[in-house]
Structure 1
């Protein structure tokens, strides 16, 4: 059974005439009759009482007519929905985003996107970047904001923003007297790190190793404000991206640039290579990076 057959049948039923229906459909009457007979054969029923003047539905024809209308309406509705989706009037995107990135960029980013595309729903999953990479890789998330590094062979990697890491210390700490610090200056300090779900955790460990020491990890947390309060109580030092470091309490904590080398905090948007990318997701990528083609 084809949609065309149902459409021809419904048109005949509406006009109660093969002649008028053929004119409305712009097909020959023999062609129309052949299609309706084919439908009757498939269903093994008689759909019309045929006469010289009118073609009336049989009792079975009435039932088929009602169901055919539902099917054709669903097809028409599907066309409308697909039109909405392809023109970004509807859709849903699941995006992974570490809390740090959410705090800094999410409100402004999403506000602008949803003003432009109000019919698209954004579902946010707040996790550490390492977890987000895994979820994008398995297709559980459409997109993820993560800190570099990211596997260029597995993901489309779309640059978003870059900042430098800053050291934050209690103002009673001797390091607070410095205007800049090097990683080797932190050798004997208790460190407050983000948890192992965060790429920043691995990054700091690597930088300590390159500076020639293994860090003394005092606490780990997934919450930047908790870490900040721990620094305020002089329970250790921490490293934050500059935009977060600027949010700490300046009366109790000092933010100091890290130099020789400086440590970049590079944020990218990732999408799994080889996976279907919805129109809504492509629209979001284009909004974030207008010149990036996926």
Structure 2
């Protein structure tokens, strides 16, 4: 026979009440079943745990020793069950989310605040790092989940789609594109381009768009941060090809943005977690909150600006 939880509970109930009848009522089991559980336990241990008299049941020396140990075990088990239930109901826990700097600033603050309003006991740790570091952090367990855009060839991760992001051209309000609702990639010909560095996935997509349009372009500036690109655009030093979620950061700059077409180039913004590793209920709930805030970053009509405009459709 192997010891089971019912044997421990039967023993502790009899030890507490000093009576088999009272203990059986406390556990809501039949007295013969309770007596048999205690007998089986004593047989397995090879020692008597109780001295039985006609009026009372008393612990032996071995019973006293066993009571001290098993009481702690049962208490620890109850705490463990309670802790897991707290995690399941999102009353407590921790989420470590890794995200690139811009997404960390334009999506996560509002999403975290909304999540905390409903689940104040769950702590969220934000790790703002470069995209190339996010996958490694998730796979190694340094982060529970990661936010961003990732190559389809990345292994060891599973993806949850948050939003579809399209590339847009950002320019100053005085730019001729002010009167357009969309801009063809071919219209970037001879434009001074403010590009992200070649380590950026956005730069790769920009190069694909330019090649698809059959034009060539030499960047006037190459920068690492989207906010730097926006500042240069505001200074009317050129135009920049950036994702639509950069509109959230563009609110702080005097710039406008138009969707790029012919072709339309899209990419998925996703939440990732490590393959083969289940996500916690808290992360699953946070994913839903994050999705609702991410989708708000997609422009309703595909056009955004910080000044008045006279829209017309381009003939591209």
Q: Is the 8 A contact 2:209 2:265 kept in 1?
A: no
Match of 2:251 in 1: 247
Q: Is the 8 A contact 1:160 1:268 kept in 2?
A: yes
Residue among 162, 165, 170 paired with 2:168: 165
C-alpha offsets along residues 209-262 of structure 1, whole Å, 9 cap, x if unaligned? 2123454354341x2233344556777653233515633543xxx545354437
Alpha-carbon offset, residue 164 of structure 1: 4.7
Match of 1:5 in 2: 7
SS in 2 for 1:144: strand
Aligned pairs for 1:1-294 (under 5 A) are 1-129=3-131, 131-132=133-134, 136=138, 141-147=143-149, 155-160=158-163, 162=165, 164-168=167-171, 176-179=175-178, 182-187=184-189, 191-195=193-197, 198-213=200-215, 215-217=217-219, 218-221=221-224, 223-230=225-232, 237-240=239-242, 241=244, 243-244=247-248, 246-247=250-251, 249-250=253-254, 254-257=255-258, 259-261=260-262, 263=264, 266-271=267-272, 275-288=277-290
Structure 1 CA distance, aligned partners of 2:91 and 2:34?
Answer: 38
Change (3 A) 1:121 1:207: same
Task: Please give the root-mean-square deviation of Cα atoms over the aligned residues, in Å.
Answer: 3.6
Change (3 A) 1:27 1:92: same
Q: Number of residue pairs matched?
A: 282
Q: Is the 8 A contact 2:90 2:121 kept in 1?
A: yes
SS in 2 for 1:21: helix
Moved more, 179-188 or 57-66: 179-188
Change (3 A) 1:107 1:256: closer
Moved more, 65-74 or 142-151: 142-151
Structure 2 CA distance, aligned partners of 1:274 and 1:25?
Answer: 40
Moved more, 79-88 or 65-74: 79-88
Alpha-carbon offset, residue 127 of structure 1: 3.5
Change (3 A) 1:245 1:118: closer
C-alpha offsets along residues 160-214 of structure 1, whole Å, 9 cap, x if unaligned? 364552234697xxxx455355434445566443345543222112112212345
Q: Is the 8 A contact 1:120 1:280 kept in 2?
A: yes
Change (3 A) 1:128 1:152: closer
Structure 2 CA distance, aligned partners of 1:263 and 1:213?
Answer: 16
Runs (5+) with no aligned partner, structure 1:
none
Structure 1 CA distance, aligned partners of 2:201 and 2:102?
Answer: 12
Runs (5+) with no aligned partner, structure 2:
293-316
SS in 2 for 1:118: coil
Moved more, 97-106 or 230-239: 230-239
Change (3 A) 1:127 1:265: farther
Could you state the TM-score of these two structures normalised by the residue count of structure 2? 0.72
C-alpha offsets along residues 122-161 of structure 1, whole Å, 9 cap, x if unaligned? 2333244455456556766444332477579974442436
